Structure 1
Amino acid sequence: MKKILFICIICCWIPSKLSAQADKILWYDKPAQYFEETLVLGNGTMGAALFGGIAKEKIYLNEATLWSGEPVAPNPNPDAYKAVAEIRKALVEENYQLADSLQSTLQGPYSQSYMPLGTLEIDFGHSGESTEYYRELDLGRAMAKTTYTNNGVHFTREYFVSHPDRIMVIRLTSDQKKAINCSLGFQSLLQFKTEIEGDKLMVNGYAPYNVEPNYINDKPEPVQFDENRGTRFTSLFQIQSSDGEVTTTDSKLTLSNATEAVIYISIATSFNGFDKNPVTEGRNNEALAKERLEKAMEKPYDTLQKNHLTDYGELFDRVELTLEASEKATLPTDQRLLQYTDGAEDKSLEELYFNFGRYLLISSSRTPGVPANLQGIWNPYMRPPWSSNYTVNINVEENYWMAETANLSELHQPLLGFIGNVAITGRETAKTYYDTEGWVVGHNSDIWAMSNPVGENAGGPTWANWNMGGVWLSTHLWEHYAFTQDKNYLAQKAYPLMKGAVDFCLDWLVKDQQGNYITSPSTSPENIFITPDGYHGATLYGATSDLAMIRELFEDFIKASEILDRDTEFRERVKTVHEQLYPYQIGKKGNLQEWYYDWEDEDPKHRHQSHLFGLYPGHHITMEETPELAQASRTTLEIKGDDTTGWSKGWRINLWARLWDGNRAYKMYRELLNYVDPDDMKGSRRGGGTYPNLLDAHPPFQIDGNFGGSAAVIEMLMQSRDDTIFLLPALPDTWESGSITGIKARGGYEVALEWENTQLKKTVITATVAGNPTIIYDGKQKEITLQQGQTVEVDW
């Protein structure tokens, strides 16, 4: 009877709890077999991916600063810039094949790779059948849990990674005394050694000094180690138990006969900055790891948990989205996702995905100068897809589209700090590769702030030679100011960096035969044109995406210069060049031209839509001010269609939202949540979408789709530009009633909305600074005046 009663309690508790938190809990009824089924935790620096196994728990561990490589070598291709004149000459002569081939001389080394720290294995030695299995990730608490019954004993594991205490904690409990027996071991793909120090398991190791990208297959040693080079790491593991016995071997910790125990995991690396040798100028990783472990173990578990919940909750609880209650929460999350993919309604799953994006940003972006990478901070591979680097032609920027709108401005700082780093290396690149002033960034970067165009003189120009990364990144500097209105930040940090990017543009732009300013050479990220005589090429001049990004940067810079009352003559020069940029062109199909000429694309449905930058994430193509360009953008999206990769779908949802087409945006939001089988599973559901653990499927896993999708939810419900706020501009019909609180608008405003029957019912605006915003809803316009800290309800 006792066992039967316990099972009834569990069966009743799970649905009631999950129904109440259908938008904040991921849960599953079996352990993960593949990485794309794991539950991910992180404190913004340390990452963990949990499999939740019964007999054996496996946890992939990562640390945001553990990369291959070392500070970039200055001037790796000292004569590169000499090729620019030759390429321009080839373009003037319309010899596009020669221009493509010459681009290889404007290439340098590849970026380095984000490394897997290692795998913690906890062997529980269970035998026989286990029942009542359940594992969850609670987004509201940033905690994971695994529970099950084995041989009549109910076991529970709780996991979290604390930002304030810089520690990972796992609590093991059982409902019968002295029932917990387990051993801890560690493995890594990196060079490492384990030793026992007292009752601690200590691992010291180092990363390679070079890792070739996973798509380079002609190198005899793609991974290169040298004991005197590479970032060092230390991992410490310790068990604390009031009634169990802890014993050690040379490579394992063993816990015997415990009722409850806490496992502490402390990690540190020697990384000490993008320009510091991690061996000779690095931090003392072993001392740091020990200090964090010792401080954490002085505190009771409840204190560590409280510190974690308070810190995390202060960020996560700022925003609340409410759509429509769903009973689907009584199903495991992977089953919900499958049913949703097959057409089921589940508004709570749509909320869950939005909340998951916010959770992932909090969990992966709290390391100064080290932004979330292509996989956030979760990577199990030695040669991860695309090096798990900073891909600057969309992906690292998409990671941060919701940082400001979702009221997580502090989490923008790792990217903003990184921009300051890459501007330093980028000045050398500007001189060496382009013979210009200012700073520049190419297609890829890494923790060492690499800025050169990649390819090693053999990369395809369609991707390797793009050089607008610094221009795009610099728009984030202005965005942070636009939301915070922090003039000290603008004056001291953002403005000098923006000016450096503008300097590069002014030197790089040349005039075409009509006297318009264009870039030459230029490419449109990863896309290929077809000339009238049938040549398929990448190198042209005046690519629309180049000029769109430059337009946006120039407009941002002009506003910043006026606000700060600086550089009047320079500002006038920027205005003049801005006015003389080659204008947007509308093609014969009614589309926004991607190329200087109205040429066909090799792939009309290509995943990149960089020439629509001015619509989103830029602001100079708008429905009300440039309707013809907005319509041409719409036509472009219609031609491209909706079937694309995960991150690209995230971008297109935002583009449709900016076109005020909520139903089309929602259609693609649903498609973004299409179930995709794990990569190594022999399944039939493939393509872009969402894995069982809700991570984005490019495929493979790229986190930018998660961030782009979450950003798009806010963009559907609220948009802003300068001091103008648009309410429910792209509300889908299916989101008939709902509310959202805590989101941020440019100008320094916090917005809360409630709507019923697709009609706005309540609007509350709070000012972080004094201002006079214009509020627009359904064709109606109101101007209000707000003092700093004032909250008003706007009546319609």
Structure 2
Amino acid sequence: MTTETTLRYDSPADLWTDALPLGNGRLGAMVFGGVAVERLQLNDDTCWSGAPRSGSAPDGPATLAAAREALERDDVREAERQVQRLQGGFVQAYQPLADLWLEQDAAADGYERWLRLDEGVAGQSWATGAQEAFVSRPASVVVVHRTWSGGPLRIRVTSEHPLDRPTGDGTRWSTTLRLPSDAPPDYVAGAQVVRDRGPGTSITAAVALEVVTDGVAAAGPDGLVLRDASWVTVVVATATDYVDATTPVHGDADELRAQAAATASAAAARGASALRDEHVADHARLFDRVALDLGGNPAAELPTDVRLRRHAAGEPDPGLAALAFHYGRYLLIAGSRPGTLPMTLQGLWNDAVQPPWSSNYTININTEMNYWPALSTNLAECHEPLLRWVGELATSGTRTAAELYGLRGWVAHHNSDAWAFTESVGDGTGDPSWACWPFGGVWLARHLVDHHDFTGDPVDLSVVLGAARFVLDWLVELPDGTLGTRPSTSPENTFVAPDGLPASVTTSTTADLAMARDLLESVVRLGGPPDLLAEASAALARLPTERVAPDGRLAEWRDDVEDVEPEHRHQSHLFRVHPGTSIDPDQAPDLARAALATLDARGPDSTGWSLAWRLNLRARLRDPAGAEAMVDAFLRPAGSGAGVYRNLFCAHPPFQIDGNLGFTAGVAELLLQSHRTAGPVRELHLLPTLPASWPSGSVRGLRARGGVSVDLAWERHTLTAARLVADRDTTVLLRHDDTTERLDLRAREAWSLTR
């Protein structure tokens, strides 16, 4: 099997979205690849503005009651005013840490640049030198190894944050810095970054570097200068005083500086070769679990940006989709490892103090999408940061549910951050279409359920049960005797109200009911306290299911109202198609047809991450032509609209990493689906939605629910080989082409099919 795993370029990066990402889950680097001036923009996943805080809007339960009363009399504007009174402040922002600069008098003749996804190494070469860079998880450092002929090399460190007492001595240099105490979202007009240096108001960080060289190093105020050298290994380490979402920061700068310096020194003493070998082995242990081949491709040796342009012009290049698939897995490995924080809107990588949407955790789709491929593409370990953080969110959200709403369980809204913010954002002025949405915890609970279903590993069921308790308390009895949600929104979407203006606050959106049903059904299946199970079962009997609107679409709103934006980027009312598991052409054919009609009505284009979501939806709805259109739309070069940048980062625009991860998950869904069950037996559907442009290929190492590894090969759109290995004894229904057969799989014994 051949699989494409290298991004290639014939020039250095001009823009941040041309640079190549490296990471070990905690440390990130964007490598620009310059010769005369090289920049590595550095991130540490614990670098956030602000500090722990708590407190909800006063008189929350009374305000909630007033909003409900307004909706009962169809006064949507009063309901909007009331839900705005429930809003807290804004979340904090993920921060850049520093920039590492390498500068020398050199020409870039014969230049090449690359990122080897299978190694996690970014490299460049030119007529008189070469460079490799990687971020080692075992050693917890950034490593740059450069060789050249002629001239001194200057190594500098700069930052968007003021440096405190930068010091150097021979081959060593270090500094500390304070992050902002408040970095408001970039969309809040006039909001200013605050740098309160008082105790406990913000995170303190340290950066230390050490070099090993055959030349002579001299330290200066912003770094080091090397003379009479032909090679250097630069090792960079960081440390911060962030502990977790609730522990106050203590700000011992000298302790952090010493910690970072010791880490850099220990790594530097081992040498570049040993560090590289160790790093590649650690990275490959995860990356090599899956391989995808979509057919031979002579374009594989072309620069990646050239391939994007050719593909957009109609030149067939199925290998480009395979490369983007592996890029998503690479980004997940680089951006999320056990013990780290989850990936933000921009993953591990951000260069702005006020980044787009604060580079936060947007939990009405985007954070969840970041982790869609973790289980299906055999990276369950990389799921751990999200699951652990959701536990912290549940702790914070329990307080918010009680204080803000007077309800049981735990709640999270539209945005969060490293401090597990769970209140409704907006500061009293946020548009309710996005600020009034208390179902973040409900959606996130789906990840714990999926992790259990894929791996069989235990998860913190109390988090799932807590989310369910909140839903049960949030539901209200409606005049027709059914249960519903009030107030309710469909994330970020609006309808035309009776006064002719856009509105979002209403009763019982389809998205709310779909997520509530999905969660309560999971609780009944997984088990819990008898009283809670009885309560969940009773609620399910009274929850309306999705309905088909008169125009044939799956209705998004309780009433047949006009959409303000018919081609809206969100399609949350299709939740039970994906990431839910209950609507597909077999289980609910009428609803599946309506869901497909909804996607068609949404149009052929959208933001980058929405295209990835629609790829997953069309995969579940078994629409190969529609899925192929989403692949092609996603892989076009980003200009003024969606697509991918030169480095394959997804363009919302601007850059959001969720599209990259969602695309990878979508490709996996095209090749293997395991969401259906027949009683206790899991169905494994092989090649359910194979695009016409992928007539032949193979994949190794995909994972199905029930703990089954799956290898596949196909020719002329027909399955030719399959291999299944289960983690434990299990029975599955194997579905492919027009056949279904029952298989009893024995633990760790391979079952094979060859044609």
Residue 180 and residue 791 in structure 1: after superposition, are their counterparts in 2 closer, same or farther (change >3 A)? Answer: farther
SS at match of 1:478: helix
User: What is the deviation of 1:22?
Assistant: 7.2
Match of 2:502 in 1: 536
Matched, 1:758 2:724: no
Cα contact 1:753–1:763 (8 A) shared by 2: yes
Match of 1:255 in 2: 226
CA distance in 2, matches of 1:285, 1:558: 48
Q: Deviations over 1:93-146 (max 9, x none)?
A: 0111111121111100100000010111111122xx531011111111110111
Matched, 1:105 2:111: no
Q: Deviations over 1:1-24 (max 9, x none)?
A: xxxxxxxxxxxxxxxxxxx98711
Matched, 1:225 2:196: yes
1:203 to 175, 182, 205: 175
TM-score by length of 2: 0.97
Q: Deviations over 1:235-278 (max 9, x none)?
A: 1111101x211111232201112122211111111111111111
Which of 575-584 and 275-284 deviates more? 275-284
CA distance in 2, matches of 1:734, 1:544: 35
Cα contact 1:209–1:230 (8 A) shared by 2: yes
User: What is the deviation of 1:180?
Assistant: 5.5
CA distance in 1, matches of 2:401, 2:198: 34
Matched, 1:375 2:346: yes
CA distance in 2, matches of 1:180, 1:577: 74
Match of 2:272 in 1: 301
User: What is the deviation of 1:283?
Assistant: 11
User: What is the deviation of 1:606?
Assistant: 0.3
Match of 2:37 in 1: 56
* Correspondence 1:363-442 to 2 at 5 A: 363-366=334-337, 368=339, 370-442=341-413
CA distance in 1, matches of 2:303, 2:754: 42
AA matched with 1:96? V
Residue 795 and residue 331 in structure 1: after superposition, are their counterparts in 2 closer, same or farther (change >3 A)? Answer: closer
Runs of at least 5 residues in structure 1 that lack an aligned partner in the other structure: 1-19, 677-684
User: What is the deviation of 1:225?
Assistant: 3.4
AA matched with 2:654? P
AA matched with 1:463? W
AA matched with 2:135? V
Q: Deviations over 1:620-652 (max 9, x none)?
A: 112101111101101111110121000000000
SS at match of 1:66: coil
Matched, 1:173 2:147: yes
SS at match of 1:358: helix
Cα contact 1:45–1:367 (8 A) shared by 2: no
Match of 2:665 in 1: 711
Match of 1:29 in 2: 10
CA distance in 2, matches of 1:251, 1:304: 26
Which of 640-649 and 774-783 deviates more? 774-783
Cα contact 1:246–1:253 (8 A) shared by 2: yes
Residue 568 and residue 130 in structure 1: after superposition, are their counterparts in 2 closer, same or farther (change >3 A)? Answer: closer
CA distance in 1, matches of 2:529, 2:253: 39
Match of 1:331 in 2: 302
User: What is the deviation of 1:291?
Assistant: 2.7
2:482 to 512, 516, 519: 516
Match of 2:493 in 1: 527
User: What is the deviation of 1:191?
Assistant: 2.5
Cα contact 1:478–1:556 (8 A) shared by 2: yes
Runs of 4+ with >6 A deviation: none
* Correspondence 1:267-278 to 2 at 5 A: 267-278=238-249
Match of 1:790 in 2: 749
1:134 to 92, 107, 112: 112
CA distance in 2, matches of 1:647, 1:223: 31
AA matched with 1:207? L
Match of 1:599 in 2: 561
Matched, 1:655 2:617: yes
Residue 130 and residue 763 in structure 1: after superposition, are their counterparts in 2 closer, same or farther (change >3 A)? Answer: closer
AA matched with 2:203? T
* Correspondence 1:345-360 to 2 at 5 A: 345-360=316-331
Cα contact 1:173–1:180 (8 A) shared by 2: no
SS at match of 1:130: coil
Which of 34-43 and 323-332 deviates more? 323-332
CA distance in 2, matches of 1:795, 1:347: 24
AA matched with 2:91? S
User: What is the deviation of 1:302?
Assistant: 1.7
Cα contact 2:169–2:219 (8 A) shared by 1: no
Cα contact 1:369–1:417 (8 A) shared by 2: no
CA distance in 1, matches of 2:410, 2:272: 48
CA distance in 1, matches of 2:108, 2:439: 56
CA distance in 2, matches of 1:764, 1:332: 34
User: What is the deviation of 1:222?
Assistant: 3.2
CA distance in 2, matches of 1:469, 1:351: 32
Match of 2:438 in 1: 467
AA matched with 1:111? V
Which of 379-388 and 46-55 deviates more? 46-55
1:115 to 75, 83, 95: 95
Matched, 1:724 2:678: no
Q: Deviations over 1:473-493 (max 9, x none)?
A: 00100100001112xx23xx2
Which of 286-295 and 313-322 deviates more? 286-295
Which of 159-168 and 244-253 deviates more? 244-253
AA matched with 2:229? A
Cα contact 1:87–1:103 (8 A) shared by 2: yes
Match of 1:13 in 2: none
CA distance in 2, matches of 1:767, 1:288: 44
SS at match of 2:173: strand
Q: Deviations over 1:533-567 (max 9, x none)?
A: 52421100101101111111111111110xxxx42
Match of 1:155 in 2: 129
SS at match of 2:374: coil
Q: Deviations over 1:419-451 (max 9, x none)?
A: 000001101111122210000000000000000
Runs of at least 5 residues in structure 2 that lack an aligned partner in the other structure: none
* Correspondence 1:687-698 to 2 at 5 A: 687-698=641-652
Aligned CA RMSD, in angstroms, stands at: 1.6
SS at match of 1:671: helix
Cα contact 1:81–1:106 (8 A) shared by 2: no
CA distance in 1, matches of 2:469, 2:3: 50
Q: Deviations over 1:683-733 (max 9, x none)?
A: xx3201100110000000000000011110010000002511111110011
AA matched with 1:692? R
Cα contact 1:271–1:283 (8 A) shared by 2: no
Cα contact 2:318–2:693 (8 A) shared by 1: no
TM-score by length of 1: 0.92
Match of 2:511 in 1: 545
1:67 to 41, 48, 51: 48
CA distance in 2, matches of 1:258, 1:218: 49
CA distance in 1, matches of 2:622, 2:135: 40
SS at match of 1:68: coil
1:639 to 598, 601, 606: 601
CA distance in 1, matches of 2:242, 2:183: 17
User: What is the deviation of 1:57?
Assistant: 0.5
CA distance in 2, matches of 1:572, 1:794: 44
Cα contact 2:699–2:711 (8 A) shared by 1: yes
Match of 1:92 in 2: 72
AA matched with 2:174? M
Which of 81-90 and 309-318 deviates more? 81-90
Which of 453-462 and 256-265 deviates more? 256-265
AA matched with 2:662? G
Tell me the percent identity. 37
